[in-house]
């Protein structure tokens, strides 16, 4: 006979935090959101510590190299989507890793025999006024000079004038050699009152550009998540089919951490994938697994060698797995049970395996609830899909801007590997939808706002760190009536967009 769990499973929206004592030291700017990404032994620190508890979902409409850089700038990690060719995913990882913090691969380049008109056209296309003149017109060509708006006057010069006649030649440039640190580059910029500094290798080939304007940006992002070589930390998704080809390519491209992207992690397919990685790379490769919704699933992946475990089935805004298959669990209940199993595993083995809550986040305060329930970090799809940096198109519908957002189980994504159970290499039916989400602007502005709410709530609970929140938090289930009470009610709200005559 089937096992019946007669208690209902709950969502984040059915819980509230009860305030605790907060001393005068409990102020938002004193809160640390540092959290481990991968497992570690008691008394040690995780080899990858994030500065904020947010990672982006392994989805075509969410995580590419642009979002990876933007999220790492804020202190989190993006997992670049794996439902593309091995080469394309590796190229995305490589672009994010070679971007470096403050070091920019030049995207405005021209040849010396091009003309002023070409310069004008390029500036109009890119919006950049600093153009590198290289031997072949490519970003890694031999640097011959620089053109800026100070080098020409459109009204006084012929449009067919060759670039080499008015550029600032290499022998008159101030430049730095490859290997120069960001601090050293910025010191050179400030000492010589430059707007930009070319970085070249021993053969004179252009490697990067460092811009004065990025100095302020760097100072404004103290939470940047960098590796030991001052490059952004980048994650990547893998599947349980082509891992023997995909994993080496992603590691060669520089991926810091991998994650098996699957709708259900309690399976022999994930066990096989983890076994192959451990056999060929030992513990040097960090790889998360999932998704699971109970203690048995967690223990299975922990024993199989997962570096972190994702929790959640069917809770994503574009996921219809529960509707189509009748499988899953309320995200809050699943998270509470798995985190309890994680703590028991830690007591038993001395190994702490971080938990990622994946799905079910609708409001910002759900992030704090997830952390209080035991999650070490949160994976978000819809949240990040709304931003400028996500790879999907921005569209206008009836005068309002939206961004496209589709699930990996939708016909548009065709990511059969994520839902593979050993059958035909295709989606048998859809487990995700194709949709729109309201456009929200830049990642930086929204993440800062969301996390300011998290920090404020943590202070209300008397906690200055995530582990302290998990220790001190008191949570209560709420009724349907109290959910209504929690919002604006029994008033006529003003329409702030209405015109008063």
What DSSP assignment string belongs to 272-328?
Answer: HHHHHHHHHHTTSS-EEEEEE-SHHHHHHHHHHT-SSEEE-SS-STTB-HHHHH---
CB-based contact 268:296 (threshold 8 Å): no
What are the helix and strand counts (H, E) for the chain?
A: 15, 24
Tokens of 167: 């550029």
Q: Is 319 a catalytic residue?
A: yes
Is residue 426 classed as helix, strand or coil in its secondary structure? coil
* Residue 126: other Cβ atoms inside 10 A: 13
Locate tokens 């103290």: which residue?
222
Closest CA to 317 of 448, 436, 163, 143: 436
Given 26, 207, 259, 319, the catalytic residue: 319
Q: Hunting for tokens 């060509």 — which residue is that?
A: 141
- Are 22 and 337 in contact, with CB atoms under 8 Å apart? no
Tokens of 140: 């890694």
Could you give the residue ranges of the DSSP H alpha helices within 352-409?
364-372, 382-385
Instruction: Give me the catalytic one of 342, 382, 418, 455.
Output: 418
| Angle made by CA atoms 405, 406, 410, in degrees to the nearest 5 | 170
Relative to beta strand 40-41, strand 351-352 is: antiparallel
Active site residue 339: no
Active site residues: 319, 418
């Amino acid at each position: 006979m089937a096992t019946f769990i007669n208690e209902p499973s709950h969502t984040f929206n059915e819980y509230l935090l009860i305030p605790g004592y907060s001393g005068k030291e409990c102020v938002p700017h004193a809160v640390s959101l540092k959290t481990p990404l991968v497992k570690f032994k008691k008394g040690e620190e995780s080899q990858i510590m994030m500065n904020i508890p947010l990672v982006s979902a392994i989805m075509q409409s969410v995580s590419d190299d642009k979002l990876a850089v933007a999220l790492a700038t804020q202190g989190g990690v993006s997992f670049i989507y794996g439902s593309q060719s091995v080469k394309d995913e590796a190229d995305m990882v490589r672009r994010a890793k070679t971007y470096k913090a403050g070091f920019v691969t030049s995207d405005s380049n021209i040849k010396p025999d091009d003309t002023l008109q070409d310069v004008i056209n390029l500036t109009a296309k890119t919006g950049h006024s600093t153009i590198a003149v290289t031997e072949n017109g490519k970003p890694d060509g031999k640097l011959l000079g620089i053109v800026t708006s100070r080098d020409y006057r459109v009204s006084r010069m012929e449009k067919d004038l060759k670039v080499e006649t008015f550029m600032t030649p290499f022998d008159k440039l101030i430049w730095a050699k490859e290997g120069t640190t960001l601090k050293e580059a910025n010191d050179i910029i400030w000492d010589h009152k430059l707007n930009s500094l070319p970085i070249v290798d021993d053969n004179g080939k252009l490697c990067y550009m460092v811009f004065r304007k990025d100095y302020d940006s760097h100072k404004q992002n103290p939470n940047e998540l960098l590796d030991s070589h001052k490059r952004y930390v980048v994650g990547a998704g893998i599947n349980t089919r082509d891992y023997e080809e995909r994993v080496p390519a992603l590691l060669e491209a520089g991926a810091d951490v991998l994650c098996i992207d699957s709708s259900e992690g309690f399976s022999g397919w994930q066990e096989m994938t983890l076994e192959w990685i451990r056999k060929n790379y030992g513990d040097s490769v960090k790889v998360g697994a999932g998704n699971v919704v109970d203690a048995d699933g967690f223990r299975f992946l922990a024993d199989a060698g997962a570096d972190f475990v994702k929790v959640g089935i069917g809770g994503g805004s574009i996921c219809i797995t529960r509707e189509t298959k009748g499988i899953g669990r309320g995200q809050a209940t699943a998270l509470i049970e798995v985190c309890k199993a994680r703590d028991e595993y830690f007591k038993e083995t001395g190994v702490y395996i971080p938990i990622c809550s994946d799905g079910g986040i609708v409001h910002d305060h759900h992030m704090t609830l997830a952390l209080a329930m035991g999650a070490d970090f949160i994976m978000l799809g819809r949240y990040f899909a709304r931003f400028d940096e996500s790879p999907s198109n921005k569209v206008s519908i009836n005068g309002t801007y939206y961004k496209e957002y589709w699930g990996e189980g939708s016909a548009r994504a065709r990511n059969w590997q994520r839902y593979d159970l050993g059958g035909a290499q295709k989606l048998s039916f859809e487990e995700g939808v194709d949709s729109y989400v309201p456009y929200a602007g830049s990642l930086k502005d929204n993440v800062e706002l969301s996390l300011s709410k998290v920090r404020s709530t943590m202070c209300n609970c008397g906690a200055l760190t995530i582990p302290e929140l998990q220790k001190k938090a008191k949570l209560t289930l709420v009724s349907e009536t109290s959910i209504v009470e929690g919002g604006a009610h029994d008033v006529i709200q003003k329409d702030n967009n209405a015109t008063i005559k």
